């Protein structure tokens, strides 16, 4: 198994004011992108699994509100209304399993997972990007290799029971269910009721004695991994919590390439400047030109034939050199601008790299000091078939009265 191939699922939430940037990126509505690896000529190969039929994300949400299909009742003006889930596996995984066609099958199943998780009716957009060049992999294989990944924008909807208030005139109705609405709520959608356990399977308790619960996104990683494996996809592992390994590799590669391009541009600027200086040195000085010819009575000048020929050649050369000098100045200015932009980009990417390395520092230190324990810990996160079967049987043996709440017809819950 290729240990470096891991599934990753990341979720970000956005308000109505912030979702526009996500929409422009996902739907390729921009003319240019900060990510220099986006190849817009290949964007027609992106696969759209769900869309808004031409509406903006916000217009689509407003339409669902007006139709009574979702509700934002009681939410603040700047509330998080949209979730964006990105499902991803290392680029090399797809390249070694069939490339583009394999990625389409993989992410179609991943899209079906999000439909179960959010509810098909709550998916706003789902698109597989196939137009972002992976320069490191392209260099490795010797041909263009693209990074396939899935963007899904959804509404985090939960069923909410609205009760009759104490002010209701009918005392029998007070405190009973008035209506059930489809409430947008990111926090309730991602609440976790799954107790955290230690290596021995014992519940982990807080200082006050109450149980700790697993993080929702950790559960999500399990769900994505298990779902895709059940659909027949193999040769990848569940993502390591907090891992940024591939992103670091890609970022380091971009910084190295940008520095190489910066060096090339700097050399080109130096060559252009030398060329510009040499062109000036080819002309006669002002003093030499002023001393050509002899002034006669009446203000006329007489020239020797050799000086006249030299002067006319200089005049022609001067006229021709104007356009050359103009083009050299324009090229020099353009290269200096490119130089400045690349220096800024290198600085920005270097800062991002340092931030990512800082985030990974605890993990790397633990790996260096206790390699075997770290390996055992992450190995324990992926249970064997025997352990999974045992846990499944244990779950089935739980008495029915311990199930706290009756099941409701709702979108897939993370605690399952």
Per-residue confidence at 383, pLDDT binned at 50, 70, 90? low
CATH code: domain of residue 233:
3.30.930.30
- Mean pLDDT for 279-298 is 54
User: Contact at 8 Å (CB) between 181 and 73?
Assistant: yes
Beta bridge partners of 48: 127
Domain boundary (204, 222, 239) is at 239
- Strand (E) or helix (H) holding 271: helix 245-281
Claim to verify: residue 12 and residue 33 sit in the same structural domain: yes
pLDDT at 337: 75
pLDDT at 238: 78
Residue 185 belongs to some domain of the structure: yes
Residue 353 belongs to some domain of the structure: yes
- For 228-268, the pLDDT digits (tens) are 999 999 888 876 654 444 444 555 555 566 666 666 666 66
Domain that holds residue 288: 242-293+311-388
Claim to verify: residue 202 and residue 275 sit in the same structural domain: no
Burial of 183 per CB tally in 10 Å (0-12, 13-18, 19+) = buried
Claim to verify: residue 254 and residue 271 sit in the same structural domain: yes
Spatial separation of the C-alpha atoms in residues 89 and 225, rounded to whole Å: 10
Claim to verify: residue 157 and residue 223 sit in the same structural domain: yes
Backbone angles phi, psi at 85, to 5 degrees: -105, 130
Task: Choose among 389, 110, 392: nearest CA to 224.
Answer: 110
Claim to verify: residue 161 and residue 35 sit in the same structural domain: yes
Spatial separation of the C-alpha atoms in residues 324 and 283, rounded to whole Å: 14
Across 40-54, 164-178, 232-246, 317-331, the highest mean pLDDT is recorded for 40-54
- Looking at the 3D structure of the chain, how many domains does it have? 2
Per-residue confidence at 64, pLDDT binned at 50, 70, 90? very high
Q: Is 40's pLDDT higher than 60?
A: yes
How much is the mean pLDDT over the chain?
77
Backbone angles phi, psi at 209, to 5 degrees: 90, -5
Domain boundary (224, 239, 254) is at 239
Distances (CA, A) of 172 to 88, 163, 169, 176: 53, 12, 9, 8
Claim to verify: residue 215 and residue 329 sit in the same structural domain: no
Region of residue 294 (phi > 0: left; psi between -120 and 50: alpha; otherwise: beta): beta
Per-residue confidence at 293, pLDDT binned at 50, 70, 90? low
User: Contact at 8 Å (CB) between 336 and 266?
Assistant: no
Claim to verify: residue 198 and residue 52 sit in the same structural domain: yes
Distances (CA, A) of 237 to 69, 159, 222, 381: 38, 34, 10, 11
Q: Is 104's pLDDT higher than 70?
A: yes
Backbone angles phi, psi at 172, to 5 degrees: -70, -25
pLDDT at 409: 47
Per-residue confidence at 370, pLDDT binned at 50, 70, 90? confident
Claim to verify: residue 259 and residue 135 sit in the same structural domain: no
Percent of the chain with pLDDT over 90: 27
* The 80-89 sheet, strands edge to edge: 47-50, 123-129, 149-154, 80-89, 6-15, 237-238
pLDDT at 284: 46
- For 179-194, the pLDDT digits (tens) are 788 889 988 888 887 7
DSSP strand pairing (294-295 vs 149-154)? unpaired
Spatial separation of the C-alpha atoms in residues 82 and 93, rounded to whole Å: 30
Distances (CA, A) of 349 to 132, 134, 358: 18, 16, 14
- For 309-363, the pLDDT digits (tens) are 777 777 777 777 777 777 787 787 788 777 777 777 777 787 777 777 777 777 7
Residue 407 belongs to some domain of the structure: no
pLDDT at 191: 83
Spatial separation of the C-alpha atoms in residues 235 and 238, rounded to whole Å: 10
pLDDT at 253: 54
SS3 282: coil
pLDDT at 384: 58
Claim to verify: residue 275 and residue 201 sit in the same structural domain: no
Residue 359 belongs to some domain of the structure: yes
Distances (CA, A) of 202 to 276, 312, 414: 76, 98, 21
- For 130-162, the pLDDT digits (tens) are 999 888 888 888 899 999 999 999 999 998 877
- Reported as half-sphere exposure (CB side, CA atoms, 13 A), residue 304 has a value of 5
Across 5-9, 178-182, 404-408, 410-414, the highest mean pLDDT is recorded for 5-9
pTM: 0.58
Q: Is 411's pLDDT higher than 70?
A: no
- Mean pLDDT for 367-387 is 70
Claim to verify: residue 158 and residue 253 sit in the same structural domain: no
SS3 97: coil
- Mean pLDDT for 200-225 is 82
Claim to verify: residue 213 and residue 267 sit in the same structural domain: no
List the structure tokens of 260. Answer: 């190489």
DSSP category for residue 120? G
User: Contact at 8 Å (CB) between 331 and 270?
Assistant: no
pLDDT at 117: 93
Claim to verify: residue 110 and residue 209 sit in the same structural domain: yes
SS3 133: strand
Residue 1 belongs to some domain of the structure: no
């Amino acid at each position: 198994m290729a240990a470096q191939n891991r599934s990753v699922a990341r979720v970000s939430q956005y308000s109505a004011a912030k979702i526009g940037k996500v929409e422009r990126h996902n739907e390729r509505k921009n003319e240019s992108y900060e990510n220099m690896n986006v190849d817009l000529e290949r964007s027609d190969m992106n696969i759209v699994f769900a869309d808004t039929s031409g509406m903006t994300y916000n217009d689509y949400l407003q339409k669902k509100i007006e139709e009574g299909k979702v509700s934002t009742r009681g939410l603040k003006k700047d509330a998080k209304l949209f979730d964006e889930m990105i499902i991803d596996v290392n680029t090399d995984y797809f390249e070694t399993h069939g490339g583009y066609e394999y990625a389409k099958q993989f992410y179609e199943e991943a899209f079906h997972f999000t439909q179960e998780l959010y509810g098909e009716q709550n998916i706003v957009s789902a698109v597989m990007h196939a137009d972002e060049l992976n320069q490191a992999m392209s260099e490795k294989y010797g041909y263009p290799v693209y990074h396939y990944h899935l963007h899904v924008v959804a509404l985090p909807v939960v069923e909410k029971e609205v009760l009759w208030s104490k002010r209701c005139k009918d005392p029998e109705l007070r405190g009973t269910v008035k209506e059930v609405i489809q409430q947008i709520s990111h926090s309730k959608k991602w609440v976790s009721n799954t107790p955290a356990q230690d290596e021995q399977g014992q519940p982990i308790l807080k200082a006050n004695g109450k149980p700790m619960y697993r993080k929702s996104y950790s559960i999500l990683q399990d769900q994505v991994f298990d779902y895709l494996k059940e659909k027949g996809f193999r040769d990848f592992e569940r993502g390591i919590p907090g891992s940024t390994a591939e992103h670091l590799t890609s970022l380091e590669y971009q910084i190295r390439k940008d520095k190489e391009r910066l060096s090339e541009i700097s050399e080109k600027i130096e060559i252009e400047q030398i060329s510009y200086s040499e062109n000036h040195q080819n002309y006669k000085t002002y003093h030499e030109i002023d001393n050509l010819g002899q002034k006669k009575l009446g203000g006329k000048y007489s020239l020797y034939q050799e000086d006249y020929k030299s002067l006319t050649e200089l005049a022609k050369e001067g006229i021709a050199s104007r356009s050359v000098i103009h083009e050299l100045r324009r090229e020099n200015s353009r290269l200096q601008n490119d130089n400045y932009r690349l220096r800024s980009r290198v600085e920005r990417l270097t800062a991002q790299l340092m931030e990512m390395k800082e985030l990974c520092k605890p993990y790397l230190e633990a790996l260096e000091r206790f390699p075997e324990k770290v390996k055992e810990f992450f190995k324990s996160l992926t249970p064997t078939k025997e352990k999974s079967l045992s846990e499944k049987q244990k779950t089935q043996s739980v008495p029915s009265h311990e199930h706290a709440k009756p099941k409701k017809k709702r979108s897939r819950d993370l605690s399952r």
